[in-house]
Amino acid sequence: MRRIIAIIISTLFLSNIAFAKITMKYSGSLPVGHHLTGAQKLFAEKVAKKTNGEIEIKVFPAKQLYSTKAVPSAVVSGALEMGYNLFGVWTKDTISEINDVPFLIQNVKQAGKAWDNNERLFKYYTKVMEKRKMKPLGVIFYGSLFDLTSPSPIVNPSDFNGKKIRTYSALASEGIRALGGSPVTMAPGEMYLSLQNGTIDAAITGLTSIHKRKLWETGENATIAGAGFGVFAVNMNLDLFNSLSKDHQKALLDASNEVMKWSVKEAAKADKESMKFLKSKINVTVLNKNQKKVWAEKLEPVKQSWLKKANSEEKALFDWVSSLR
């Protein structure tokens, strides 16, 4: 009898080990009502379903755990299991700047084709990030980026002269200089007060951020340039990913790619809703074809700067992404 009881206890103990829940923290920076926070929650739901509850993703939006810039080092060290960020925040590798090349990715449909997990761009990015001890799970789409919010109109390149303008990446800063302004790198959460206090004259950010972060309260004007498209990478600690079973690895990658496809429609929907809202509150200028041409000519040195740094494989990827328009 004692032996039978011992076997039962041993079996239950081993069973509990085999099916022990794995808990991971997922850090995000956008407000609770933003569609990227919705993407975090959807990912957690999909992973739970695909792993029969064996992996639990705890979602922390709005910088509840880490500041935007602190997420990469936290993921690499293992203090944080995963997080999302604009590509340029994760690393300074050339491939991490590809989404910031002016007028390269112009809409969410093109972005969805380019950043599918099974396509060459994501595979190349994965190879580069794994050298940095991070495992890309996929991407999620933010929407229109390199848009301006300001107290006074900034539409033509001449309007940039003498203006201090908030930027979010090295290539975005190059873009502001090319247009004639003075870039000021600043975290998203600092934009509101900096605009309100006059520390900066304008900020480049995304259409949805002008709306959701209430930046429209700090100025009467917005310019939607169509020069950039926001793509956020979802990266995980590489050692942790490699320690998981093949089934669990597949579940994470599949769930992330499904959320990417979901975000195609959500990003387009969010941009449309934010555009409608902003037009009801402030003056909104959407650059027309001729205005975009003028901006593109001014921003051409930025594109050439990136191509000069790019290796042959990255240049080929640039051409491929361009062909997807």
pLDDT at 11 over 60: no
Task: Name every residue whose Cβ is closer than 8 Å to that of residue 99 and which is 6 or more positions away in sequence.
Answer: 86, 87, 88, 105, 228, 229, 230, 231
Q: How far apart are CA 32 and CA 219, in angstroms?
A: 23
Asked if 108 and 267 touch (Cβ cutoff 8 Å), the reply is yes
Q: How far apart are CA 211 and CA 219, in angstroms?
A: 12
Q: How far apart are CA 4 and CA 277, in angstroms?
A: 69
pLDDT in tens, 292-315: 999 999 999 999 999 999 999 999
pLDDT at 175 over 50: yes
Q: How would residue 16 be classed by pLDDT, with cut points 50, 70 and 90? A: very low
Q: Which residue has the higher pLDDT, 211 or 16?
A: 211
pLDDT at 224 over 60: yes
pLDDT at 19 over 80: no
pLDDT at 28 over 70: yes
Percent of the chain past pLDDT 70, that is, above it, reads: 94
Question: How large is the average pLDDT for residues 94-121?
Answer: 96
Q: How far apart are CA 31 and CA 309, in angstroms?
A: 34
What pLDDT score was predicted for residue 2?
A: 54
Alpha-helical runs (H) found in 202-245 = 207-212, 238-243
Question: How large is the average pLDDT for residues 181-192?
Answer: 95
Lookup result for tokens 């499904």: 258
pLDDT at 15 over 90: no
Burial class of residue 35 (count of CB atoms within 10 Å of its CB; 0-12, 13-18, 19+):
buried
Q: How far apart are CA 298 and CA 254, in angstroms?
A: 40
Q: Give me the sheet containing 202-205, strands edge to edge.
A: 182-185, 164-167, 202-205, 147-150, 221-224, 283-286
Instruction: State the Rg of the chain over Cα.
Output: 22
Task: Name every residue whose Cβ is closer than 8 Å to that of residue 250 and which is 6 or more positions away in sequence.
Answer: none
Task: Name every residue whose Cβ is closer than 8 Å to that of residue 324 and which is 6 or more positions away in sequence.
Answer: 110, 113, 114
Residue 146: left (phi > 0), alpha (psi -120 to 50), or beta? left
pLDDT at 12 over 90: no
Asked if 128 and 167 touch (Cβ cutoff 8 Å), the reply is no
What pLDDT score was predicted for residue 20?
A: 84
pLDDT in tens, 41-79: 999 999 999 999 999 999 999 999 999 999 999 999 999
Residue 61 pairs in a beta bridge with: none
Percent of the chain past pLDDT 90, that is, above it, reads: 91
Q: How would residue 170 be classed by pLDDT, with cut points 50, 70 and 90? A: very high
pLDDT in tens, 236-276: 999 999 999 999 999 999 999 999 999 999 999 999 999 99
pLDDT at 9 over 50: no
What pLDDT score was predicted for residue 180?
A: 97
